[in-house]
Amino acid sequence: MPTNSCSILGGRLMLARRSVLAGLIATPLVPRPTWARDPIAADPIKVGVIIPLSGGAGRQGQDVSHAVQSMATLINEAGGVLGRPVEILVKDDESTPAIGVAKANELAAAGVAVVLEGWNSPVTLAMQSVLARAGILDITMISKADAILASASNPLAIRLNSANAQDAAIIAKYLGSLSKKARIVFVTENDAYGNGAQQGIEAEFKKAGLDYTIAQTLKFPFAQTDFRVEITSIRDARPDYVISINANEGAGLPAFLQQYAQANVGAPVICTVGTVSPSVIETAGKAANGLHSADIYFPQTEPFASDPENKRFVAQMQKQFKAEPDKFMALGAASLQIWAKAVATAGSLDRKAVAGAIRGQEIPGTIFGTVRFDASGQMQHRHFVFTVKDGKIVVES
């Protein structure tokens, strides 16, 4: 090739390189998560979730797992935790303590940094010591038994859902606003959750000076769906109010409401806090109309409806799973969100450091707004009383 041809070609190559360089400089750079730039940081942080995915509470457990996954998506899109993506590992405890323990051991072997758990209090109580011995932070999303925060086997316990003691006070206050003297029948799930809830409510009756007679206490196992015998006993007791303590939202509580409505007993039903999810109302149908309860989260009611973090979560749930979140889903998502914020504050995944950034602390910018945890690890809540009318939850206060 002639010398002048080489010179021309070299000049053209130089111009091409300058054009490419100029284009790179002019094109704005799109930020990428840390793990996309650094292969070492791509190692995910594993987060375990133990929740019923089958049986009576299976539908609600699946919803909770979806909510945790939605929050993981939001966290990862924002850069992850300590610059690493979050990976969710979900296990089915089948609402059985022994299976919950087995799943806790599986997650410990998988190297999870934290376990978000808890629909049934007996399962949570059985898993606590296993996770503590493994050095894994254990955050209870939903289980309510007071013993969860008092167990010596888990000195770093954390719970997001309201406790039995908190719920008992709101139920007693609501009943006291209706009547100072009444006959009460309890229909109580016979386990740590149900028995603790009833004891708390009765203690609040006495504290409030209410002249209430406990006409009957009817106990049943978690899985029960036939309440015809109990409903006959309720009719015979002639109560002014029936208090239902039933955490089997997928099967047991809707079945009780349907059978109770068919029997035309007439006494109003008050369900304990957090047991009446939208799925209960959907399954029970018209039988849910008229029941009373209270809860801590409603996505389209203030102060949640205008909160930016809640709006972001609701939008992600609708986008990713085509679902509007209920209280249980919000608690699951908030558990992951609060853990991630605590890790950022602690600058570490160390169990004690992260627990110290939650217990006794105030944490802003969550689905529930600015949240406060007391020294025992219990998140504080505001309760909203509601009645079911025409198949919808109507918040009263």
* Range with the poorest average pLDDT among 21-30, 168-177, 234-243: 21-30
When pLDDT is averaged across residues 13-26 and rounded to a whole number, the result is 41
Confidence of residue 256 (pLDDT cuts 50, 70, 90): very high
Q: Under DSSP, is residue 339 helix (H, G, I), strand (E, B) or coil?
A: helix
The larger pLDDT score, comparing residue 172 to residue 41, is at 172
363: amino acid identity, one letter = I
Residue 38 or 292, more confident: 292
- Is 116 strand, coil or helix? strand
pLDDT category of residue 33 using cuts at 50, 70 and 90: low
What value does the mean pLDDT take over residues 333-345? 98
C-alpha 105: how far from its chain's center? Answer: 22
Q: To the nearest whole percent, how much of the chain has pLDDT over 90? A: 82
What was the pLDDT predicted at 2?
43
Q: Is the pLDDT of residue 67 over 70?
A: yes
- Listed in sequence order, the residues at least 6 apart from 115 whose beta carbon sits closer than 8 Å to its beta carbon are 47, 48, 49, 50, 104, 107, 127, 131, 136, 137, 138, 139
Inform me whether the pLDDT recorded for 237 exceeds 90. yes
Do the domains 40-162+303-372 and 165-295 sit in the same CATH topology, yes or no?
yes
Cα 4 to Cα 16, 144, 167, 192, 214, distances in angstroms: 18, 85, 90, 92, 107
3 state SS of 309: helix
| Closest residue by Cα to residue 361 from 340, 332, 336, 338 | 338
CATH of 40-162+303-372 given 3.40.50.2000, 3.40.50.1980, 3.40.50.300, 3.40.50.2300: 3.40.50.2300
Structure tokens at 367: 């689905």
Pairwise pLDDT comparison (34 vs 241), residue with the higher score: 241
In angstroms, rounded to a whole number, what is the distance separating the alpha carbons of residues 204 and 170?
A: 9
CA distance linking residue 74 with residue 341, whole number of Å: 13
Q: List the Cα angle 313/329/309 in 5-degree steps.
A: 25
* CATH fold label, 165-295: Rossmann fold (3.40.50)
- Please determine, for residue 220, whether its predicted confidence score (pLDDT) is greater than 80: yes
* End-to-end CA gap in the chain: 89
As a whole number, mean pLDDT of residues 144-157 equals 90
Burial of 229 from C-beta contacts in 10 A (0-12 / 13-18 / 19+): exposed
Tell me what the mean pLDDT of segment 204-219 comes to.
96
How far is the C-alpha of 317 from the C-alpha of 324, rounded, in Å? 6
Mean pLDDT, the chain, as a whole number? 90
pLDDT of residue 18: 43
DSSP secondary structure, 241-282, as one string: EEEEE---TTTHHHHHHHHHHHHT--SPEEEPTT---HHHHH
What's the pLDDT at 109? 98
Question: pLDDT tens digit string along 274-292?
Answer: 899 888 999 999 999 999 9
Mean pLDDT of the region 52-80: 96
Q: 32 falls in which pLDDT band (50, 70, 90)? A: low
Indicate the domain borders of the chain. Answer: 40-162+303-372, 165-295
Q: Is 86 helix (H, G, I), strand (E, B) or coil?
A: strand
Please give the share of the chain, as a percent, with pLDDT higher than 70: 89
Of residues 251, 221, 247, the one with CA closest to residue 121:
247
The DSSP symbol for 136 reads -
CA–CA separation, 117 and 335 (whole Å) = 9
DSSP 40: G
Is residue 92 pLDDT above 50, yes or no? yes
Whether residue 145 has pLDDT greater than 90: no
Residue 207 vs residue 22, higher pLDDT: 207
> Cα separations (Å) of 376 from 152, 177, 198, 199, 380?
12, 31, 22, 21, 11
Confidence at 38, pLDDT banded by 50, 70, 90: low
